[in-house]
Structure 1
Amino acid sequence: MEWIRIPLGPMQTNAYLLYSSNHQDCLIVDPGEEAGKVRQFLEKKKVKPSAILLTHAHFDHIGAVDALRDHYQIPVYVHENEKKWLADPSKNGSSFFQGITPITAREPDQVFTNEGSMKIGEWTFELLFTPGHSPGSVSFYFKEAGIVLAGDALFQGSIGRTDLRGGDHNLLLKSIHTKLLTLPEETYVLSGHGAVTTIGDEMNSNPFLNGF
């Protein structure tokens, strides 16, 4: 598996494209804005996405969802706790910030309901329920590739904010410690914002995780 991180929009939210030379489909994770930039990369690699996966439904992660869904005719997945958030600016947070035009997308085509092994297209991964930043936050763990897409749960040297709708600081810390920090230390953490880190680095140096 190969992957690329593409920061999109004014908040530089990381979208990720997962692809492989073994087959011609890919997965799009958290396309926050700038659908044209995502399409340009896909066309360059000559791969067609099979689905859009959302780690959660905050506005800065969903801005390009409908444009890409409609262009490629592919389904959108989000956790069932946030299936109504895409279409509601008061839930997805875009009405929370002054100067931001309300952002909406149509409701998801599919919802995540249970943790465990999942297969979408040619891709198999482990779905981890990691709420706290939002009530439907999930992470996608690709064991063979040694990566976990953690959304806004865990960052390099930081953790997700919990002052938006449904945020819960203690629950977020529990999610990080019981679901993410139990992964192999060499696992790369592909976060929703900022640089790539590893589980081991965050265990050793993240100041928000000490003393839990």
Structure 2
Amino acid sequence: MFVETLTLGSLAENCYIVGDETTRAAVVIDPGDEAERILAVLRARNLQVKLIANTHGDVDHVMAVAPVKRITGAPFAIHPADIPLLKRAHAQYVQWFGTLAEPPPDPDLELSDGQELEVDGLKFTVLHTPGHTQGSVCFYFPEHKVLVSGDTLFQGGVGRTDRPVGNWRQLIESIRDKLLVLPDETVVYPGHGPPTTIGQEKSFNPFLRELTSG
């Protein structure tokens, strides 16, 4: 398995292409903008997209879903609690950036906590981690100890919770109960910024001190 990172758009959002070297199957996670860059990588690596999966529905994570889905034919998956965010994303994008874009489509698959997905050699588990948004999820690839954390956990930080869709206590409980129980060597690929590990965040993330002290 390989993970390719594309940092996209004005908000420097990380889109991940997770692929299997043998089957050439791929999952595109959080295609937030610049669809042409995503599609160019898929063509260059001769990958067949089997699923588009989103960690949440914020505008900076969803605005390339429609063109990637249209070109690849892959189904689109998101947690149902974030569908309202998804439906507001296009208007928000136009308001923020003053440019038109293709609105995100309705999902073909609704994600749920503990759901196990297998895509031509790629096996991963959906972890529902509400807090940043109510439908935030992380994707855990247990065979490779890889976690795609969206905007739930960052290197040295956590997702913002100062919006109506956010809840600080919920976020901290999600991280405590779903993420910090993973092996310390688990590599974390966040929605923004560089990768980290669960062990590093346990030791050094200032937002998690109440969970790791003592």
Which amino acid in structure 2 is aligned with residue 19 of structure 1? G
Structural mapping, 1:124-163, within 5 Å = 124-163=123-162
Partner of residue 180, structure 1: 179
TM-score by length of 2: 0.92
Alignment partner of 1:94 is 2:84: no
Question: 1:185 corresponds to which letter in structure 2?
Answer: D
Instruction: Describe the SS at the equivalent of 1:162.
Output: coil
Structure 1: gaps of 5 or more residues: none
The within-5 A match list for 1:21-170 is 21-89=21-89, 94=92, 99-101=96-98, 104-170=103-169
Q: Distance in 2 between matches of 1:25 and 1:119?
A: 11
**What is the deviation of 1:93?**
8.9
CA contact (8 A) 2:20 2:121 kept: no
TM-score for the superposition, normalised by structure 1 = 0.92
Partner-residue secondary structure (3-state), 1:27: strand
Task: Say if 2:23 and 2:120, in contact at 8 Å, map to a contact too.
Answer: no
Shift of the alpha carbon at 1:121?
4.4
1:59–1:93 Cα contact (<8 Å) kept: no
Note the alpha carbon deviations across 1:58-97, whole angstroms, 9 max, x for none.
00000100000001111110001112332224xx8937x9
Unaligned runs of 5+ in 2: none
Asked if the contact 2:57/2:86 (under 8 Å) is kept, the reply is: yes
Higher mean C-alpha displacement, 16-25 vs 119-128 = 119-128
Instruction: Report the CA distance between 1:116 and its aligned residue.
Output: 3.6
When residues 50 and 15 of structure 1 are mapped into structure 2, their CA distance, relative to the original with a 3 A threshold, is same
Preserved contact between residue 93 and residue 164 of structure 1 (Cα < 8 Å): no
Runs ≥4 residues deviating over 6 A: none
Counterpart CA distance in 2 for 1:119 and 1:21 is: 15
**2:11 paired residue number:** 11
- For 1:198, the aligned partner's letter is T
Q: Secondary structure at the match of 1:179?
A: helix
8 Å CA contact 1:132, 1:153 repeated in 2: yes
Q: Equivalent residue of 1:171, what SS?
A: helix
Amino acid at match of 2:58: H
Letter in 2 for 1:115: G
Partners of 1:141 and 1:124 in 2: CA distance:
9
Cα 1:155/1:172, change in 2 over 3 Å:
same
Residue 203 (structure 1) aligns with: 202
8 A Cα contact 1:84 1:107, kept in partner: no
Could you tell me how far 1:98 is from its partner in structure 2? 6.4
Amino acid aligned to 2:92: S
| Paired positions, count | 209
1:159 shift after superposition: 0.4
Q: Any idea what the Cα deviations from partners look like across 1:108-132, whole Å, max 9, x if unmatched?
A: 1111134242224442111111110
One-letter identity of the residue aligned with 2:15: A
Cα RMSD over matched residues?
A: 1.9
